[in-house]
Structure 1
C-alpha cells in the first residue's frame, strides 16, 4: 500500500485551512485523515490541524486491529475531538465558530473503514470506474436529494458551501461510517472540495486510470487541474494505491 498527498493553497486564498496526514498504529494499520477547516482569521487552520494531529497521534498508540474495533475507535475519537474543538472555540474569542470537515480511512487487510463529516469526500477507483463513497453533509446535497434543485443547479448554487454537519460547531456530532472491500490495484482518493468543485468526476477518473503515471504524478495532476480551473479554494488530495500485504511484509 502506497499513500501520497499534497495540500495547496490554491489561487484565491491567502492561507491554507486544509490539513492532512496518515499514521500507523502499533499493529501496522494505517489511518489517513483529511480535514478542511472553516472559520475567520486562522481559526479554520487550528480546527483542521487539531483534528488531524490529535486523531493521528492517538491512533499511533493503539493496537486496534479489527474492523469492529477500528470503527468504534474512530467514532469515539471523532466525538472526543469534536468536544475538544468546541471547548477551544469557546475558550478563545479569535477561534469562535471554528470547525472542520473530516474524511478518514483505515486500511485493514482487504477492507477500508471510511468515516466522514461535511463535504470532503472519499472515492474508490476500481475496475475502471470511480465511485463516490461518502455523501456530502451540505444544504445543496439535501436540496438535490429532495428534488428541489437539479444537478446542474447544484454546481453554482449560492449556498454551496453551507454544511449541515461539521466537526467542532455543536456539542453533538455524528459521522457516517462504512466498510468497503478493496481488490489489488484499487485506489482510494480522499479530497477537499477545492478539488471536487473545480474538477469533474470523469476527469478525476481519467487521471486515476492512467497506468503510466505514478501516484505522485496523479496527485500533482489533480491539484494542477483544480488550479488551472481557477483554484478558488484550498486543494488537498490524498491518494492510496491498494495492494494486498504479502507474507513477511
Structure 2
C-alpha cells in the first residue's frame, strides 16, 4: 500500500479546520482518517484535530487484526469521541457548538473497512471506474433521496452545507460502516467537501485514472478545487495498492 495526503486552506478561508492522519497498530494494520471541523474559527479546528488524533492514538495501541473486530472498534471509538468533543465544547464558551465530520478506513490483507459521519466522502477507483463508497449525511442528500431535489439543483441549494450527522453535535453519533473486498490496483480517495463541492466526480475520476503518482494526483485535485473557487478547506488522502494504479 502507498499513502499520500494533502490539506489546503483553499482560496477564501483564513483558517484550515480540516485534519488528516495515518496510523499503524500493533498488528501492522493501518488506519487513515480525514475530518472536517464544524463550528467556525477555533471550534472546528479543535473538534477535527481531537477526532483524528484521539482515534489515531488509540488505534496505535490496539492489536486487532480481523475486520469484525475493527467494526466493533470503530463503533466504540465514535461513541467515545463524540462524548469527548461534547464535553470539551461544554467546558469552553468559545468552543460551544463545535463538531466534525469524519471518514476513515482500515486496511487488511484482503478487505478494507470504510466508515463515515457527515459529508466527507470515500471513493474507490477500480478498473478505471469510480465508485462513491459513502453516503452524505446531509439535508441535500435526504431531499435527493426523497425525490424533492435533483442532483443538478443540489449544487446551488442554499442549505447544501447543512449536515444531519456529525461528531460532537448531538448525543447520537452513528457511523455508517462497510466492509469491502480489496483488489490489486485499487485506489481509495478520502476527502472533505472542499473537494467535492468544487470538483465533479468526472473530473476526480479523470485525475485518479492518469499515470501520475499518488502525490501528483493529490496535488492536482487540490489545484482543481482552488481553480474552481476554493470556497472551503480542501483535504484529500489517497491509498493505492502497491501493484497497479497509482504505485
TM-score between the two structures when normalised by the length of structure 1: 0.96
Equivalent residue number for residue 17 of structure 1: 17
Which structure 1 residue ranges, 5 or more long, are not aligned? 245-249
Q: Decide whether the 8 Å contact of 2:15 with 2:41 is kept in 1.
A: no
SS, match of residue 194 in structure 2: helix
Deviation at 1:173, TM superposition (A): 1.0
Distance in 2 (CA, whole Å) between partners of 1:113 and 1:218 is 23
Equivalent residue number for residue 235 of structure 1: 234
* Aligned pairs for 1:60-71 within 5 A: 60-71=60-71
Which structure 2 residue ranges, 5 or more long, are not aligned? none
SS, match of residue 178 in structure 1: strand
Deviations 1:202-244 (A, max 9, x none): 1111111112x01100000000000000000000000000237
The Cα RMSD (Å) is 0.8
Q: Decide whether the 8 Å contact of 1:40 with 1:95 is kept in 2.
A: no
Total equivalences in the alignment: 243
Distance in 2 (CA, whole Å) between partners of 1:105 and 1:243 is 17
Deviation at 1:63, TM superposition (A): 0.5
Equivalent residue number for residue 175 of structure 1: 175
Equivalent residue number for residue 127 of structure 1: 127
Distance in 1 (CA, whole Å) between partners of 2:103 and 2:241 is 18
> Does residue 221 in structure 1 map to residue 220 in structure 2?
yes
Deviation at 1:40, TM superposition (A): 2.8
SS, match of residue 3 in structure 1: strand
Structure 1 residue ranges, 4+ long, deviating more than 3 angstroms after superposition: none
TM-score between the two structures when normalised by the length of structure 2: 0.97
